[in-house]
Amino acid sequence: MYVQKGYCIISQIENYLLHTVEDYFKPQVNEWIAQMEKFIDQETTRNFIADSSASERIYDGTGKVNLFLDECISISKLTIDSDVISDSYYYLYPANELPITRIKLSSDSSLSFTQDEQNIKVEAKWGYSEVCPSDISFATVVLVAGIINFSGEMGGEVKAEKIGDYSITYKDKTAWADFERAKDIIKKYKKTVL
């Protein structure tokens, strides 16, 4: 069983489907939400809601002044070799937006990310953003609604497809268009690894 991150909640799914989810069925819907969050994270190689507390990750020093790192929303501590570096000696990039993906040591610090293996420690809140982007929330709602539709009796014209381990179904062109839009949203956020 997976733990929900909060990409969407049951009331958003109820609003999308225009009917309520019975209390006895809510645990199953919550499991599907968690599964679709995991699917989206795996497809995009991202975590859309950052950790609530900072944790440490280790990197190799490059001998340069730039260090590319995993996406995070804040950095609470930077250590090069065994020295804790004051935040006045580095800049975070991209400037003025999240997620942070690079640390640049200031030229007046006379520091570099010493070339070595696993000698750089960064303590941060890891993830893409503090709150799930609204379009990722929408995509999660659409995918879970498709799973709910598949599990129920559907009348009328039906289109179906598999997403991960789940079959999803939509009964009209509008819902199918939403599904295509959800796939495009997920593709747009897919992280490119160089």
What are the start-end ranges of the E strands in the chain?
Answer: 55-61, 66-80, 83-85, 90-93, 100-105, 116-126, 159-163, 166-170
Classify residue 142 as exposed, middle or buried by CB count within 10 Å of its CB (0-12, 13-18, 19+). Answer: buried
Beta bridge partners of 159: 170
Q: What is the pLDDT of residues 159-182, one digit of tens each?
A: 777 777 777 777 778 888 999 999
pLDDT at site 158: 65
> pLDDT value at position 31?
94
pLDDT over 80 (residue 10): yes
pLDDT of 194 reads 59
Residue 166, pLDDT score: 75
Which residue's structure tokens are 């020093």? 61
Residue 152 has pLDDT above 70, yes or no: no
Cα dihedral sign for 6, 185, 156, 163?
negative
CB of 91 closer than 8 Å to CB of 39: no
The alpha carbon torsion through 66, 61, 128, 43 (nearest 10 deg) reads: 120
| pLDDT on residue 154 | 54
Q: Is the pLDDT of residue 155 over 90?
A: no
Model pTM above 0.85: yes
Q: What is the pLDDT of residue 170?
A: 78
Angle in degrees, CA 7, 12, 14, rounded to 5: 135
Q: Which amino acid is at 148?
A: I
Q: Where does residue 194 rank: exposed (0-12), middle (13-18), buried (19+ CB within 10 A)?
A: exposed
pLDDT at 80: 98
The confidence band for 4, taking pLDDT boundaries of 50, 70 and 90, is: confident
